[in-house]
Amino acid sequence: MSDTHAHSIAFVRDTEIPPSPPPAGETGAVKWLRENLFSNAVNSALTIASLLVIYILLSKTLPWLLNGVWTTNSLAECREVLQGKTGACFSVLTERWNQLLYGFKYPSDQYWRPNLALVLLLFAIAPVLFFDLPRKLLAFTAIYPFLAFWLIWGGTILAPIVALVGFAAGAFVFQTYGKSSFAVGFFGAIAAAFAVWIIGGMLIPDGASDNAMLQAVPSRDLGGFMLNLMLGVTCVSLSLPLGIALALGRQSDMPLIKWMCVVFIEFVRGVPLITLLFVASVMLAYFFPPESTVDLFLRVVIMITMFSAAYIAEVIRGGLAALPKGQYEAADSLGLDYPQAMRLIILPQALKISIPGIVNVAVGLFKDTTLVSVISMFDLVGMIRGPILASTEWNGVYWELLGFAALLFFVVCYGISQYSQWLERRLATDHR
């Protein structure tokens, strides 16, 4: 039988045919181009138009960028080197580099202090941003504000220590008495903190800052991108807790608290930031006699914080409103009291919903710090518009300076945005 079988089948293939390559139009770059860029007439036309635009842009900017001059000492020298050719005068960035970053009055032999503060900031902020890191690192985060204050402003180390001890005393009082009665703990903590500050302030000798380990730098001498970063970081980190408190206060059943929060939020949101800054810099000076005003930096921080806290409060209120009522009732049915319910059930969900909005406010706030240039503080933009463009060497250089400022701000804002997207992915618990 086997014979018949062998004869009935003329050929049996016992190895696979080697695969032939796909048609040229269906593979690699060509396929991608055809599918994505030239799939139909309109698409092709748009592609060609876009390429044209990109070409025009690059043909104008690339010579300007690549032909840039980095080593001259003034715009006139720059033009001499370029001999009429297109080219950027990046020398202004190299010559005024320190002024752009630190302002023009920060003592130049002390630049390591803000630099160190920035590096430490990364360590301090890491456990807050990435909560997979060990919780013990938060201890450093708690110390960091006082450390950074001492590094940047210098002067006697006693001042930040007294401030830290005051906060610690407040926290201790709250821990001890807050369990039995929230109000006693809360107001007791405030009283304890102020008691420590006032007594500590008296104990610090008058000339303590004169021969301190770190030379004291007054707030007026801060400037450049350092000032933007300091304002941005301080105000974002202060306005977030304040915003949460305001949002919760607005939802409160207690009429006094509710209306105080409503009035605060609506008033501050209804006023332009620049007005608040003018009040901080100009009007307050009328209320205090000379020599006894509150530090200008502190005034600005308070105003920007108030402003962004009002916005963040409204963003979080949106998050709270998005939670179904069942969540609140579930918390109640478990027997949780108000702080527990908020901390364990409501806020984690509401804040997660609010992340994009909060980040939006944070990015906006960071860019708004450039508004302080209007009240004659020399932040990055203030440095550019004031001292640098008004110097006889560099008057007339616009693109290079403002482009550099834009680049710095873009890097930071893009970083914030990327972090928020990571955070959203990390916190995603739904199944989409």
Residues that bind another protein (CB under 8 A): 75-76, 79, 95-96, 99, 104-105, 108, 149, 153, 155, 159-160, 162-163, 197-198, 201, 204, 206, 208-209, 216, 218-220, 278, 281-283, 285-286, 288-295, 297-298, 374-376, 378, 382, 385-393, 395-396, 398
Measured CA angle at 169 (ends 167, 114), to 5 deg: 30
Nearer to another protein, 38 or 278 (CB): 278
Among 263, 284, 275, 300, which residue's Cα sits nearest to residue 379? 300
Between the CA of residue 275 and those of 87, 267, 307, 375, 393, what are the distances in Å?
40, 12, 11, 10, 34
Least separation in angstroms between CB 161 and another protein: 11
Least separation in angstroms between CB 59 and another protein: 20
Question: If DSSP codes are grouped into helix, strand and coil, which group holds residue 69?
Answer: strand
Between the CA of residue 218 and those of 223, 297, 340, what are the distances in Å?
11, 10, 43
Pair 339, 276: CB distance under 8 Å? no
Distance CA 193, CA 210 (A): 26
Nearer to another protein, 138 or 165 (CB): 165
Nearer to another protein, 222 or 345 (CB): 222
Among 314, 298, 302, 318, which residue's Cα sits nearest to residue 243? 314
Nearer to another protein, 87 or 127 (CB): 87
Residue type at 389 in one-letter notation: L
> And the tokens for 231?
């304002």
379 strand-pairing partners? 224
Give the chain's end-to-end CA distance (angstroms, integer): 61
Give the residue carrying structure tokens 């960028």: 65
Least separation in angstroms between CB 120 and another protein: 18
Angle at which helices 224-250 and 255-269 pack, to 10 degrees?
140
- In sequence order, what are the residues at sequence separation of 6 or more whose Cβ sits closer than 8 angstroms to the Cβ of residue 150? 157, 159, 160, 214
Least separation in angstroms between CB 128 and another protein: 21
Least separation in angstroms between CB 349 and another protein: 35
Least separation in angstroms between CB 117 and another protein: 14
Pair 111, 118: CB distance under 8 Å? no
Least separation in angstroms between CB 265 and another protein: 24
Nearer to another protein, 11 or 286 (CB): 286
Nearer to another protein, 258 or 385 (CB): 385
Nearer to another protein, 2 or 292 (CB): 292
Nearer to another protein, 82 or 353 (CB): 82
Nearer to another protein, 75 or 310 (CB): 75
What is the CB-side half-sphere exposure of residue 78 using CA atoms within 13 A?
A: 25
Which H or E element spans position 186? helix 182-203
Backbone φ, ψ for residue 379 (5° rounding): -75, -170
Nearer to another protein, 352 or 385 (CB): 385
Pair 354, 315: CB distance under 8 Å? yes
Largest CA distance in the chain: 120
